[in-house]
């Protein structure tokens, strides 16, 4: 299995690293590539971020190394695509080079996946028209505007397209993928290896559960 | 608040990125530095990994950008230290330059924290002698050998020292830190922003909960 994680300036780094930490432990992963798109430092779209470059996250506080530029990756060589989210997805939604590459990957992929607002890129590429999908709770309207049938679940699978809700949900998505790909025991083994026995100190991780003052404040910040 | 995350070749990247994604959203963070130690590419200890360098994770499949070399960071300038884990902690446990820097940071820090086998570094630095602490379940014996009183909990706080269990537990630790530092509502707001409403497909995230065949297999692999 050849895994590709699309990375770009303005991504949310946990969206990518959560699934990475799970999927990279799967048996039979022959390659795992951090595939760069966009112009380094510019925060605008393009296709030039390649080997040796670093993409910066949406708060410009952490950098992830790029293995190869998107333009150099044969779409047919990617079996499992992960598209993370972050504000950096907005310019990608209008970048035809990125969208057509994503479409071409999807034609031959075994799995096409996204975390958080990564689903906006799948949607903009036309892959979610009439398809049940999820994404960050603050981007549900925007996701619906791409034609997706928004389902406010943590992980939504429709055939080979798997989308996850906001940021941390990529870990749950990747464990489900691990089970579908390699079986329950392999997934449980990975879960135990990364000691994923979550015990958040609060039960405020979704807009349905968080105090309304907290929900309203975040909504108004994005508004 | 000035946050420092110690990074080195052979770290587990989620150990660092989990807390990052939470702590970087705290109000009042004036700096957040990825502080490099070790010699790039060699996987052995040292003190030369600085700005512009990239550290590679314990499976050599992802690279994180370094902001500054440990040797260039005044220990008194770090308010909150995060030491992630990974096999790369083993050489650090014998690296006096690293251990004395960690001790010096701890003297003036508000919080000294670790995730996974990062607690082995705190222990080797002499900070955990007689102190309740946790770490990855497979490293409990090694942690005890540093003088720590091993508590098999997900997050253990003793004064300003906070240690977390394996890999993914750093997210829970950081949300607790966020609440202690900025209050419950600030922590809940971050939890909602990263949509941390965990729903793992299995309940196998600790050795007490996972099927015994899965536990035994992982244990034998580490031997």
B46 has a pLDDT exceeding 80: no
B-chain residues near A218 (CB < 8 A): 189, 192-193
Q: Residue A40: give its domain's CATH number.
A: 3.40.50.880
Q: Is B112 on the interface with A (CB under 8 A)?
A: no
Which residues of chain A from 69 to 88 reach within 8 Å of chain B, CB to CB?
A: none
**What local confidence, expressed as pLDDT, does residue A40 receive?**
53
Chain B residue numbers touching A215 (CB-CB < 8 A): 192
Tell whether A2 is within 8 A of chain B (Cβ): no
**Which DSSP symbol is given to A72?**
G
Catalytic residue among A92, A116, A177, A190: A116
Q: Give the pLDDT of residue B47.
A: 54
Q: Is the pLDDT of residue B221 over 90?
A: no
Q: Mean pLDDT, to the nearest integer, of B154-179?
A: 98
| CB contact B115 to A (< 8 Å) | no
A104-120 per-position pLDDT tens digit: 999 999 999 999 999 99
Tell me what pLDDT residue B222 has.
76
Determine the Cα–Cα distance for residues A217 and A205; give it in Å rounded to an integer: 14
Write b or e for each residue in B108-132: b if 16 or more Cβ atoms lie within 10 A of its Cβ, otherwise e: ebebbbbbbbbbbbbbbbebbeebe
Q: What is the pLDDT of residue B43?
A: 47
Residues B165 and B158: their CA atoms lie apart, in Å, by: 14
Q: What is the ipTM of this complex?
A: 0.95
Q: In this predicted model, what pLDDT tens digit does every residue of A50-96 receive, in sequence order? A: 888 999 999 999 999 999 999 999 999 999 999 999 999 999 999 99
Whole-angstrom distance, CA of residue B169 vs CA of residue B206: 11
A188: closest CA of chain B, how far (Å): 6
pLDDT in tens, B115-163: 999 999 999 999 999 999 999 999 999 999 999 999 999 999 999 999 9
Measured between CA atoms, the residue of chain A closest to residue B54 is A65
List pLDDT tens digits, range A171-214: 999 999 999 999 999 999 999 999 999 999 999 999 999 999 99
Domain region containing A170: 2-222
At B48 the pLDDT is: 72
- B116 catalytic? Reply is yes
Q: pTM value? A: 0.96
**Could you tell me whether strands A63-65 and A68-69 are parallel, antiparallel, or unpaired per DSSP bridges?**
unpaired
- Percent of the residues in chain B that have a pLDDT greater than 70, as a whole number: 96
β-bridge pairing A155-158 and A161-164: antiparallel
The answer for B 159-218 residues in CB contact with A (under 8 A) is 165-169, 171-172, 175-176, 179, 184-185, 187-189, 191-207, 209-211, 213-215, 217-218
* B15 touches B139 (CB < 8 A): no
Contact B172 A202 (CB under 8 A): no
In the predicted model, is pLDDT for residue B194 greater than 80?
Answer: yes
What is the rounded CA–CA span in Å between residue B173 and residue B171? 5
Using the beta-carbon criterion (under 8 Å), do A168 and B196 form an inter-chain contact?
Answer: yes
3-class DSSP state of A81: strand
Number of domains in chain A: 1
pLDDT-based confidence at B40, cuts 50/70/90?
low
User: Considering chain B, what is the average pLDDT of its residues?
Assistant: 95
pLDDT band at residue B39 under the 50/70/90 scheme = low
Mutate to test the interface with B, among A41, A114, A200 (most CBs of B within 10 A): A200
Residue B60 near residue B32 (C-beta atoms within 8 A): no
Q: Which pLDDT tens digit goes with each residue over B64-80? A: 999 999 999 999 999 99
B63 strand-pairing partners: B56
Is B87 within the bounds of a domain? yes
Best residue of A1, A26, A204, A212 to probe chain B, by most B CBs closer than 10 Å: A204
Q: Which helix (H) or strand (E) holds B185?
A: helix B184-193
Q: Do the Cβ atoms of B197 and A209 come within 8 Å?
A: yes
| pLDDT, tens only, A127-162 | 999 999 999 999 999 999 999 999 999 999 999 999
Taking the Cβ of residue B31 and every Cβ of chain A, the question of whether any pair is shorter than 8 Å is answered with no
Yes or no, beta carbons of B191 and A200 under 8 Å apart: yes
- Mean pLDDT, chain A, rounded, equals 95
CA distance A206 to chain B (A): 6
Q: Which residue in the list B53, B99, B116, B148 is annotated as catalytic?
A: B116
| B137, closest residue in chain A (CA to CA) | A195
Q: Please indicate, yes or no, if residue B52 is contained in any of the structural domains.
A: yes
For B98, phi and psi rounded to 5 degrees?
A: -70, -45
Beta bridge partners of B115: B164
Which member of A18, A176, A210 has the closest CB to residue B192?
A: A210
User: A62 to chain B nearest CA, in Å?
Assistant: 7
Model pLDDT, residue A207 = 96
Is A17 touching B (CB cutoff 8 A)?
Answer: yes
Query: What's the mean pLDDT in B36-45?
Result: 63
In the prediction, which pLDDT does B167 show?
96
Q: Compute the count of residue pairs across chains A and B with CB atoms less than 8 Å apart.
A: 211
| CA atoms of A105 and A75, how far apart (whole Å) | 4
């Amino acid at each position: 299995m050849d895994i590709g994680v699309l990375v770009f300036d303005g991504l949310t780094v946990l969206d990518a690293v959560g699934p990475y930490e799970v999927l990279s432990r799967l048996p039979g992963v022959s390659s795992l590539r951090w595939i760069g798109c966009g112009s380094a430092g510019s925060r605008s779209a393009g296709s030039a971020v390649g080997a040796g470059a670093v993409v910066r996250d949406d708060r410009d506080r952490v950098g992830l190394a790029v293995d190869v530029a998107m333009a150099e990756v044969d779409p047919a060589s990617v079996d499992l695509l992960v598209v993370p989210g972050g504000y950096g997805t907005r310019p990608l939604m209008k970048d035809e080079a990125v969208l057509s590459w994503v479409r071409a990957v999807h034609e031959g992929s075994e799995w096409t996946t996204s975390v958080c607002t990564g689903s906006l890129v799948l949607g903009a590429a036309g892959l979610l028209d009439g398809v049940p999908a999820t994404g960050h709770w603050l981007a549900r309207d925007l996701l619906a505007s791409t034609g997706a049938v928004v389902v406010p679940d943590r992980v939504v699978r429709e055939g080979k397209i798997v989308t996850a809700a906001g940021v941390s949900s990529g870990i749950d998505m990747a464990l489900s993928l691990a089970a579908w790909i390699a079986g329950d025991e392999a997934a449980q083994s990975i879960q135990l290896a990364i000691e994923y026995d979550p015990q958040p100190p609060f039960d405020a991780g979704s807009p349905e559960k968080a105090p309304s003052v907290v929900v309203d404040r975040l909504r108004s910040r994005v508004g």
